[in-house]
A and B are shown apart, each in its own frame.
Chain A
Amino acid sequence: MAFAIQFVIDVLSLGGAYALMALGLVIIYGILRLVNFAYGELIMVAGYTMFLTSGSGLPWIIMAVLAVGMAIVFGIITDYVAFRPVRAKSVTAVLITSFAFSNLLQNAALLFISPRPRNVPLPDIFSQTVSIGGAITPVRNLITIAASIVLLAAVAFLMRRTTLGIAMRAAATNFTMARMLGVPANLIISSAFALSGFLAGVVGILWIGRIGTVVPGVGLEPLLVAFIATVIGGMRSLPGAVVGGFLLALIDTTLNYTLSQDLLKFRDAFTFSLVILILLWRPEGLIKGPASGQRT
C-alpha cells in the first residue's frame, strides 16, 4: 500500500511538472508552428533570479514572484528578439534565432555569473518530508502536485472561458482568419509567450527546488522533456501536452522503480525506445490537434 502511494505521488508530481513544461512549449507551437528552443532558458532565468535576490532579505514568496515575473519578461523578449523579426520570413531562420538566443542567455549566465552551480534559496518546507499511509514523501512533491493542479485548471479556464483564451485557440487553428476578425496578431503572440514564460517560471522554481542549485545548462532537460511530452501527446493539442507529460512521467517513474542499478544508467534509452514505439503506433501523437479549418 505504502509502495503504491509512493508510486502514485512520484508519478503525479513528476507528471505535473512535465505537463506544465510541455504546455509552455505547445502554447507557442500551436500558434506559430515553431518550437521555441530558448524555452529552457526561461527556467534558467527563473533560477538565477532566485539566486541573485537571495541576499536581498526579501521574503521567499516575493523572490519566487520576481523569478516568475522575470521568466515572463524573458518570454516576451524571446518573441521580440528571436521570433518577431524573422517570423514571417522562414521557419529555418526562427529555428536558428531561437537557438542563438538560447545560447546567448546561457553564455551570459556563464560569463556574468558562473559556470558552477549556484544555490537557490528554498523555504524549509521544500526539504521536509511527510508520511502518508506509510509512504515517506518530500513535501515539495505534494507542492508540485498542488501547483500543477491549480495551474492546469487556471490555464484551462483561461483558454476556455476568456475572450483572450478563445482568441488564442482560434489563432492556433487559423491565424489569418482570427486576424480578419480583428484579433491582433501581436497581442496573441505576446500573450502566448507571456503564458509560456509564466509556466516556465513556476515549473523552474519547482524543478530547481529538487536540486537546490542552478547552472547555465539547467534548462536543457526541461526543454527535452517538454519536447518529448508534446511529441507523444500531439504537438498541436494542449490536452495532448498534459497527457504526454503525465505519460512520460509514468514511463520514467516505472523504469526508476523496476530497472536494476546497472540498467538505470540507460533509463533514457528505454524511455526513448518506448517513445518511438508510441510514435510508430500514433505518428501524430496520442491526441490529434484541432483540424485546421479546411474546406468542407
Chain B
Amino acid sequence: MLEINDLSVSYGAIRAVRGVSFSVGKGELVSLLGANGAGKSSTIKCIAGALKAAGGSIALEGKDITTANPEQVIRAGLATVPETRDVFPDLTVAENLMLGAYIHRRDQAGNRQNLEKLHTLFPRLAERSNQPAGTLSGGEQQMLVIARALMARPRVLLLDEPSLGLAPAIVERIFEMIETLKKSGLTILLVEQNVNQALSVADRAYVMRLGAIATSGTAEEIRATSDLSAHYLGG
C-alpha cells in the first residue's frame, strides 16, 4: 500500500532522515516510534509532499509519489494529520471540515453522508460546528484535525503524535478511535512517543533513531525488546 525506499530528507546541511525504508500493508496499522529528533515528523512531512526528498522513493498503491506536491498526495488517497495540529483557528469547525472535503467538493451528497458518520464518531464536533476552531480545547482540536483528514476519504492516514500534550483520558479516547478506524479497514501509519499505547493498537512497528530505522518487527517483538528501547524511547 505504502512503500518507502531509502528515503532521505535534509534541511540544508542537516540530514534529518538518512536512507529509511519501510512499508505499510493494506489495512495495516504500523507505528513509527523513536525519541525526540529521530526524524519521524520529517519522514511524515516528506511523504505528505510538504518536504522534498533528498533521495529515495515513496510509492502509494504502486504509484510513485516521491516528487508529488501536497495537493497531489491527498488526491492520490493519502491524508496527513501533522503533529502541529493545524486547525484553521479563525474558521469554524464546520468550515474546517468542509475544507477537508475540498477534493470532493463536487460530491456534496457524499460529503454530507461522510460528515454525519464523523459526527457520530466525534459528537463533540457536531455540538461545536459553528464555533471558531481556535476556541476548541487541545483534545477537541486533535479530533477536528483527524475528522478533517477523514473528510478527504483517504485510503491511507498518517497520524503524527495524536496524543501529544493531551490528558490521559483524552489519549484513551483517541486510541479507541484509532482502533475503530483500523477496524473499518483504513491503512494507518501512526507516529508516537507513547510507546505502550501505540504498540497496543499497532500490528507492526519501526523504531527510528538518528534518522535511520534502528529496529523493526511485530508489536509483540518490539514490546519484548522494550528493555532496550526504553533507553531511547523514554518509556
Residues of A near any B CB (own CB < 8 A): 163, 166-167, 169-170, 173-174, 176-185, 290-291, 293-296
Asked if B88 is an interface residue, CB under 8 A from chain A, the answer is yes
Residue pair B105, A179 in contact (C-beta under 8 Å): no
Asked if B176 is an interface residue, CB under 8 A from chain A, the answer is no
Q: How many residues of B contact A (CB 8 A)?
A: 36
Residue pair A185, B98 in contact (C-beta under 8 Å): no
Residue pair B102, A167 in contact (C-beta under 8 Å): yes
Residue pair A291, B152 in contact (C-beta under 8 Å): no
- Chain A residue contacts of B90, Cβ below 8 A: 169, 173, 290-291
Asked if B39 is an interface residue, CB under 8 A from chain A, the answer is no
Residue pair B148, A173 in contact (C-beta under 8 Å): no
Residue pair B99, A184 in contact (C-beta under 8 Å): no
8 Å CB interface, B40-76 against A: 48-50, 69-71, 73-75
- Chain A residue contacts of B48, Cβ below 8 A: 180
Residues of B near any A CB (own CB < 8 A): 48-50, 69-71, 73-75, 79-80, 82-91, 95, 98-100, 102-103, 105, 134, 137-138, 141, 148, 152, 164-165
Q: Tell me, rounded to whole Å, the shortest Cβ–Cβ distance linking A74 to chain B.
A: 27
- Chain B residue contacts of A177, Cβ below 8 A: 82, 86, 88
Residue pair A295, B84 in contact (C-beta under 8 Å): yes
In order of increasing CB-CB distance, the 6 nearest A-B pairs are A290-B90, A182-B103, A179-B70, A177-B86, A296-B138, A182-B74
Residue pair A176, B89 in contact (C-beta under 8 Å): no
- Chain A residue contacts of B80, Cβ below 8 A: 180
Q: A174-B88, A293-B88, A296-B165 are in contact. Are A180 and B74 (CB under 8 A)?
A: yes
Q: Tell me, rounded to whole Å, the shortest Cβ–Cβ distance linking A236 to chain B.
A: 10
- Chain A residue contacts of B141, Cβ below 8 A: 296
- Chain B residue contacts of A184, Cβ below 8 A: 71
